[in-house]
Amino acid sequence: MNFHHVSLTLACAALLGGCASKEFVNEQVDTLNTRMESQQADTNSKLSQNAGMYRGLESRVNSQQAALDGASRTAQEALERARAAGQLAAGKFLYETILSSQAARFKPDASELSPEAEKALDEFAAKLRAENRNVFIEIQGHTDSNGSEAANLALGQARAEAVRRHLATRGGIALHRMNVISYGESAPLASNRNQAGRTANRRVTLVVLQ
């Protein structure tokens, strides 16, 4: 084999080697690109899922905030107390029911439940049983401003206890799902300067939480 043939052979070998190397590099690049595209697709999918979860959480938070915006100050305080005590499953405010006026009239300086109050409480308990929710109830006793502050705190407590006793004995609500608190005269619904306002303030509020 002469020098010309040797040179030609070496040149072909180098050319073939270069082609093989280029094909190998191209294959590696294609593989890497495919892998990166797959990883990017997975990342995009996870980002989309996270965005959906965030929107769902934001919607639930906004819904709960809307409910709280419509709740009374004492209902919001009830939620804070129940959360702090770890008594809630979901940490949510559901609704509040006020037993006053035509629904349940308390006589001045009295804590006995009227027939109207007992009927309203029976309907309340039936609603809870029908909903079959794991709820917690704070029962808040209120009074008008007649009498001393200490006496009104005691009277509000007695009214709340009367409601809890009725719900437990006749409504079938477990005692551990209820708590009582007295606000006395400190959270009036109406002015205590007239009889109608004082009647409205002699009440019990049921705050239902979950």
Q: In the predicted model, is pLDDT for residue 55 greater than 70? A: no
Lowest mean pLDDT among 19-23, 27-31, 106-110, 129-133: 19-23
- Please state, for a pLDDT cut of 70, what percent of the chain lies above it: 70
Lowest mean pLDDT among 36-40, 76-80, 188-192: 36-40
> With contact defined as beta carbons under 8 Å apart, do 61 and 188 qualify?
no
Q: Give CA–CA dist 44/38, Å, rounded.
A: 10
Q: Count of H helices and E strands in the chain? A: 5, 4
Rounded to the nearest integer, the mean pLDDT of the chain is 82
- Please state, for a pLDDT cut of 90, what percent of the chain lies above it: 60
170 vs 48, more confident: 170
Q: What is the pLDDT of residue 57?
A: 44
Q: Give CA–CA dist 126/172, Å, rounded.
A: 9
Which amino acid appears at position 141 of this protein?
A: G
Is the overall model pTM greater than 0.75, yes or no?
no
Strands (E), the chain: 93-99, 136-142, 178-184, 204-209
User: What is the C-alpha radius of gyration for the chain, rounded to an integer number of angstroms?
Assistant: 36
Residue 99: band (very low, low, confident or very high) from pLDDT cuts 50, 70, 90 = confident
Q: Give CA–CA dist 144/109, Å, rounded.
A: 9
Q: In the predicted model, is pLDDT for residue 6 greater than 60? A: no
> With contact defined as beta carbons under 8 Å apart, do 143 and 156 qualify?
yes
Q: In the predicted model, is pLDDT for residue 119 greater than 80? A: yes
Q: In the predicted model, is pLDDT for residue 19 greater than 90? A: no
Q: 96 in helix, strand or coil?
A: strand
Query: How many C-beta atoms surround the C-beta of residue 114 within 10 A?
Result: 15
